[in-house]
Structure 1
């Protein structure tokens, strides 16, 4: 059981990088995600999570990666390996189906769409912290893609910035499942790690 209360006016969901390239058949990264996603019913849990959060009246923040454009990393001195992969593969390309939201997870009226992040961390060089604090959000629920990339980085920085962070473990998946699960070593990425069902119970939702 979760001891912490998720007050409606102080809690928000961060849905990270819910793009077709990650989560839809035909997406460029879907073949790498598919085995774990289907085993864990990732899309089912993401749909359920959004429904739970909306019924509970919580704010939804969409935290998108930079949609790739030709020349994005030209003359960069130190792009990260992930940025080099994005550039090489044209991941989440601007104006393409792959860079669009998964149809079941797309923003709805009243949701907040945060500025696009260039690296793993959804806070760095975006308005995420400002959007959360202006709305009085203290508790953030983190889900989306990918656990070993932007989800872990954003959750960890959320902890560092003083938010209470909840990770929904069956509403995310790793892009490189051969790697050790983030959080098993090093600084924790969340205060609480729950399943979708456990979060529903904490929010008083069926």
Structure 2
């Protein structure tokens, strides 16, 4: 499906484009392409006075606020390298950007993202970032459940697992969102004022 419209009150929400995560290879969309497309969208949103939300994930050094619960997959042990949770330099330096720090997969759970969006009258979000099947999909699900129109920039999301990425893009996102390329989203944005 194609993008039908971009609401006048739309926010760009960039998921986990931070040093430690962008250092990993992306599949099938290369991580440098995700960064380039996310930066291009962020610039276009800023030019139009539309909100840009930069989301990062982090945990306390002692791991006290890490996700609880038993899982089959072991979580990384030990401390993360210094600066792993800092938003990449390509997106930094814009005082108007909204910053949200999460400690879960979704940018909505346990954060003030919904409050930031509702107070600005936002009715739609465009999502970019890493990982498609984790942070991006979780945020898309919560956004949909909160009543936002959701658009996924399919060439501005990637995963460490191509099969997981494709499952999200082909099976999950069509039920939660409209999907399109960066170029299609840019073409649908209201004119810069």
Q: What TM-score do the two structures reach when normalised by structure 1?
A: 0.79
Partner of 2:61: 69
CA distance in 1, matches of 2:148, 2:15: 17
> 1:57, CA displacement in angstroms?
1.8
Aligned-partner SS, 2:30: helix
Corresponding residue number in structure 1 for 2:77: 88
Which structure has the higher relative contact order (CA within 8 Å, separation 6+)? 2
Q: Measured at CA, do residues 80 and 64 of structure 1 come closer, stay the same or move farther in structure 2, by a change above 3 Å?
A: farther
Alignment partner, residue 15 of structure 1: 14
Contact 2:28 2:162 in 1 (8 A): no
Aligned position for 1:56: 48
Cα distance in structure 1, aligned partners of 2:176 and 2:156:
14
Contact 2:13 2:52 in 1 (8 A): yes
* Partner SS for 1:99: coil
Match of 1:33 in 2: 26
Question: What is the Cα deviation at residue 205 of structure 1?
Answer: 6.0
Q: Find the aligned partners of 2:57 and 2:170 in 1 and give their Cα distance.
A: 25
Residue 18 of structure 1 deviates from its aligned partner by: 1.2
The correspondence of residues 163-202 of structure 1 with structure 2, limited to 5 A, is 163-179=148-164, 180-185=166-171, 188=174, 190-202=176-188
Measure the CA separation in 1 of the matches of 2:35 and 2:142: 25
Which SS does the other structure have where 1:13 is aligned? strand
Contact 2:108/2:139 (8 A) holds in 1: yes
* Partner residue, 1:106: 92
* Unpaired runs of at least 5, structure 2: none
Distance change >3 Å, CA 81–CA 122, structure 1 → 2: farther
Tell me if 1:132 matches 2:124: no
> In the comparison of the two structures, how many residue pairs are matched?
190
CA RMSD of superposed structures (Å): 2.7
Structure 1 unaligned runs (5+)? Answer: none
Q: Distance in 2 between matches of 1:88 and 1:203?
A: 43
